[in-house]
Chains A and B, each alone.
Chain A
Amino acid sequence: MRLKIITILVCLLMLPVSGMAQDSDRPYEGVTLNFFYFPLTYISGLQPLVPEFEEATGMTVEFELLEEQASVQKAQLELASGAGNFDVVGIQSGNMPLYAQGGWVTPIEDFYDAEYADADLLAIDDFVGSTMDALAFGGTQYCLPMFAATTILYYRLDTFEAAGIESPPATYDELLEIAPLLHSDELPMIALRGNPPAAPGNIWIFNSFFHGEGASYFADFPDDLTPTVNSPEAIRALTNFVTVKNNYGPEGVAAFVYDDVVTSMQQGTVVMVIDGAPLAGRILHPDQSKVAGNLGFAVMPGGAAGPKPGFAAHGLCVVANSEKQEAAYKFVEWAMSFDTMKRISLESPHVAVSRNSLWEDADFIAKYDYNYGGGSFIKAYQDSLNAAPADHFPPFAAWPIISEIMGQAVQEAEIGVKSPEQALNDANNLITQFLEDEGYLP
């Protein structure tokens, strides 16, 4: 009897010890993290790997993903109201100033020296510099990049060959010069986004025409915020954009969303598109694409100021009012690590990687270096990233509304309700009035 009692006591004494042993193995047992964004390729590729992270740490990660525009709206309202429903959120670099000024996210650099941080796992110096810069504000690193996006020109090799054109257009003038040779009613030359909503809309493409002509949004950003969107360069950019789309685009192109553009290229119903390089995975999808093996890739054409492809980064941030800062950081650290990023890129169609070492990784190159005789995809991607201006979307908290006003102006010119000049004059007045109301201009 005594032996039994002693045995039970010993077992009882051992219980906390074994529990502690379990705690140190799975230090975040019982912690639930709430993650919010939209199903960007990186996130879709990350989700299947998360059970391994949960198994290793004891943490549970709940994903809430919405459509892109809706997710941006919801995230901003949630963060602004301090609702505290999310611990980790995704961010598009154009919104970085808004998130930073609002104090909505904890600077990620605050975690670098924490006792629980693993500097080797994160390897911060390996991230592509421009993507890191895009997710910093005022010299402080707020978020970490998971996605490095730029725009490239995709073009059908067979149509170019049939028209006797040897290389893709390097300038807008060249584009307009070859257009009559490539365009027909049955096979329009080019599809570009047309709908104005800020996140996935026409401004993503139009800004390349805008910067390509040497236009800028402000007189001298950030010192002089007087808007200059109706400058001669800007009017020339919009005139080019409208001319190319209206004369050589498919029917209804003024209302195209990015999905319409991708589908047009994927199905081969246009000769070329200018859109996100990360969309190559979809455009060349082996089961859906009618142009796989028949596409060339190049840096998009430029104007007087040279080619200015689009640039945007997406990143992950720790929400400022999350009560699980440590766990949230550990999740971000793991999600952004080299191994995780490499697995995502190899096991899903995520090509927009944000680590330098991955761009040089043999497995990565073997998977993504499409080359059908019209130039290497990876080279076009990297050249475009290098040529892309960091201020493709000006780093300005009020950018969402300026983008909205400009998106409307571009579409107004495109559908002919206003001339390019009138549309941009009106947009300039609206932006001026808005900046005065908001206190940015006297």
Chain B
Amino acid sequence: MVSLVAKALGRSEDPESLASSRAHLKYLAPSIALLLVLTILPMLFTLYLSTSSLSYTSPRPPRFIGLRNYERLLDDARFLKSIPVSLLFIGAPVVVQLFLGFIVAVIMNERLPYMRWLRFVFVAPMVIPPIAMGLMWRILYTPHLGGLNYFLGLAGIDGPGWLTDPNWALVAIIMVAVWGWTPFVGLFFLAVMQSIPDELYEAGVIDGATWVQSVRHITLPLLRPTFAFIGIFRVIEALGIFPIIYIVTNGGPASATETVNFYGFVSGFNNLRVGYASAIIVVFFVMLFVIVVPAMRLLLSYIQVSD
């Protein structure tokens, strides 16, 4: 499938395989047409709406206003604030997930007592839907309901206002994302680790390597492509954090945890400013494009290497 995609992208110079790609494309045409209708057309329509004044709260009929909505965005402090928040929510959880995922995988790879149960505990968050995850953490973060600050208090730590302090609210969202997706990263690392031949570790032991040295000089270098692969994959996925924000902070306090797409949602669905919301979403598309396309290219190149 991957080679087919690569071929379809015109990477191959071989005339025979080109002809084969065309034949494949013929069969894929209906699906591609459907995808175009379901993705490209709505995007074009959003672009069109972003140049209109359409708002259900306005007494005026909608009209073409060119780039006015985009000009407004440049003056909109709430929108400008949502850009670094989006970048933070893309970058920070991924770094922590990779770090913790690796540690989790190393632990799960060891033959320790009760490891079967421990593995079950490690991967449990993976099966919890984002909405349930969000509700659970919101309760934990709410002082009079949740136990987080209570347990911090037992350790002598005065817990912060997770949902009321703008900086800690950002940390709160990142923590949920880390908690929710680290098991996936860990499992991925574990699968690759278990394919590393034992002989390499045995040779290390013969040479006098300690456990830490084995991890550092054998496991880590062999996992480097996996780090890159999962890192890119998680970056692509990271903007799917929307339901967590919606449930845990609802973008607050005072819009501190609003990402670009969340602000687009508020503008369109709460405020009914369809044209303005469309402009926000178009900017979001551009952001995604700038981040995801290079990431996808890298991802495909990794897949091709492993193919």
B222-254 at interface with A (beta carbon < 8 Å): 249-250, 252-254
A400-424 at interface with B (beta carbon < 8 Å): 400-401, 404, 408, 411-412, 415, 417
A interface residues, how many (CB within 8 angstroms):
36
- Quote the shortest CB–CB distance from B278 to chain A (angstroms): 14
Q: Across the interface, do A260 and B269 meet the contact criterion of CB distance under 8 Å?
A: no
| 8 Å CB contact of A398 from B57, B144, B269 | B57
Q: Across the interface, do B56 and A255 meet the contact criterion of CB distance under 8 Å?
A: no
| 8 Å CB contact of A439 from B59, B142, B164 | B59
Q: Is B163 an interface residue (CB 8 A)?
A: yes
SS of A interface (majority) = helix
Interface size class of B (residues with CB under 8 A): 20 to 34
Chain B residues closer than 8 Å to A101, beta-carbon distance:
59
Chain B residues closer than 8 Å to A76, beta-carbon distance:
56, 269, 272
| Chain B minimum-CB-distance residue to A264 | B144
Which one of A3-11, A25-33, A190-198, A346-354 is at the B interface? A190-198
Q: Is A21 an interface residue (CB 8 A)?
A: no
Chain A residues closer than 8 Å to B272, beta-carbon distance:
76, 80, 98, 400-401
- Quote the shortest CB–CB distance from B145 to chain A (angstroms): 7
Chain B residues closer than 8 Å to A438, beta-carbon distance:
55, 57-60
* A73–B271 alpha-carbon span in the complex (Å): 9
Q: Across the interface, do B56 and A415 meet the contact criterion of CB distance under 8 Å?
A: no
Max count, chain B CB within 10 A of own CB: residue among A101, A269, A415, A440 = A415
Chain A residues closer than 8 Å to B149, beta-carbon distance:
251
Q: Across the interface, do A397 and B253 meet the contact criterion of CB distance under 8 Å?
A: no
Q: Is A231 an interface residue (CB 8 A)?
A: no
Q: Is B143 an interface residue (CB 8 A)?
A: yes
- Quote the shortest CB–CB distance from A282 to chain B (angstroms): 16
A80-116 at interface with B (beta carbon < 8 Å): 80, 98, 101-102
- Quote the shortest CB–CB distance from B151 to chain A (angstroms): 15
Against A, the Cβ 8 Å flags (1 = close, 0 = not) of B127-141 are 000000000000000
* A408–B263 alpha-carbon span in the complex (Å): 13
Q: Across the interface, do B143 and A254 meet the contact criterion of CB distance under 8 Å?
A: no
| 8 Å CB contact of B166 from A264, A415, A440 | A415
| Chain B minimum-CB-distance residue to A69 | B270
Q: Is A232 an interface residue (CB 8 A)?
A: no
- Quote the shortest CB–CB distance from A8 to chain B (angstroms): 55
* A253–B271 alpha-carbon span in the complex (Å): 25
* A192–B44 alpha-carbon span in the complex (Å): 44
Q: Is A60 an interface residue (CB 8 A)?
A: no
Max count, chain A CB within 10 A of own CB: residue among B53, B253, B266 = B253
Q: Across the interface, do B252 and A397 meet the contact criterion of CB distance under 8 Å?
A: no
- Quote the shortest CB–CB distance from A428 to chain B (angstroms): 14
A195-231 at interface with B (beta carbon < 8 Å): 195-198
Q: Is B255 an interface residue (CB 8 A)?
A: yes
| Chain B minimum-CB-distance residue to A423 | B254
| 8 Å CB contact of A411 from B59, B142, B253 | B253
* A264–B166 alpha-carbon span in the complex (Å): 24
- Quote the shortest CB–CB distance from B299 to chain A (angstroms): 34
* A398–B57 alpha-carbon span in the complex (Å): 5
* A211–B102 alpha-carbon span in the complex (Å): 57
Given contacts A404-B266, A411-B254, contact A260 B145 (CB under 8 A): yes
Q: Across the interface, do A251 and B144 meet the contact criterion of CB distance under 8 Å?
A: yes
Max count, chain A CB within 10 A of own CB: residue among B55, B78, B144, B149 = B144
Q: Across the interface, do B252 and A255 meet the contact criterion of CB distance under 8 Å?
A: yes
Q: Is B72 an interface residue (CB 8 A)?
A: yes
| 8 Å CB contact of B273 from A252, A401, A415, A417 | A401
Q: Across the interface, do A415 and B253 meet the contact criterion of CB distance under 8 Å?
A: yes
Q: Is A437 an interface residue (CB 8 A)?
A: yes
Q: Across the interface, do A197 and B57 meet the contact criterion of CB distance under 8 Å?
A: no
Q: Across the interface, do A439 and B57 meet the contact criterion of CB distance under 8 Å?
A: no
Given contacts A412-B254, A415-B254, A438-B60, contact A250 B166 (CB under 8 A): no
* A198–B18 alpha-carbon span in the complex (Å): 57
Chain A residues closer than 8 Å to B204, beta-carbon distance:
none
Q: Is B161 an interface residue (CB 8 A)?
A: yes
Against A, the Cβ 8 Å flags (1 = close, 0 = not) of B154-198 are 000000011111100000000000000000000000000000000
Q: Is A77 an interface residue (CB 8 A)?
A: yes
Q: Across the interface, do B164 and A254 meet the contact criterion of CB distance under 8 Å?
A: yes
Q: Across the interface, do B254 and A252 meet the contact criterion of CB distance under 8 Å?
A: no
Chain A residues closer than 8 Å to B161, beta-carbon distance:
251-252, 254-255
Q: Is A263 an interface residue (CB 8 A)?
A: yes
* A101–B55 alpha-carbon span in the complex (Å): 13
* A76–B268 alpha-carbon span in the complex (Å): 11
- Quote the shortest CB–CB distance from B125 to chain A (angstroms): 24
Q: Across the interface, do A98 and B56 meet the contact criterion of CB distance under 8 Å?
A: yes
Chain B residues closer than 8 Å to A251, beta-carbon distance:
143-144, 149, 161
Give me 9 other A-B pairs in contact (C-beta within 8 A), A253-B164, A269-B144, A408-B254 excluded. A254-B163, A254-B253, A255-B161, A255-B252, A263-B144, A401-B272, A404-B270, A437-B72, A438-B59
Please list the 5 inter-chain residue pairs (A to B) with the smallest Cβ-Cβ separation, ordered nearest first: A255-B163, A251-B143, A438-B58, A401-B271, A439-B60
Show 30 residue pairs from A and B whose CB-CB distance is below 8 angstroms, ordered by the A residue.
Answer: A73-B269, A98-B57, A102-B56, A195-B250, A196-B252, A197-B250, A197-B270, A198-B270, A250-B144, A252-B144, A252-B163, A254-B161, A254-B163, A254-B164, A255-B161, A263-B145, A269-B144, A397-B57, A398-B58, A401-B271, A401-B272, A404-B271, A411-B252, A411-B253, A411-B254, A412-B254, A415-B166, A417-B254, A438-B55, A439-B60
Residues of B within 8 A of A (CB): 53, 55-60, 72, 78, 142-145, 149, 161-166, 249-250, 252-255, 266, 269-273
Residues of A within 8 A of B (CB): 73, 76-77, 80, 98, 101-102, 194-198, 250-255, 260, 263-264, 269, 397-398, 400-401, 404, 408, 411-412, 415, 417, 437-440
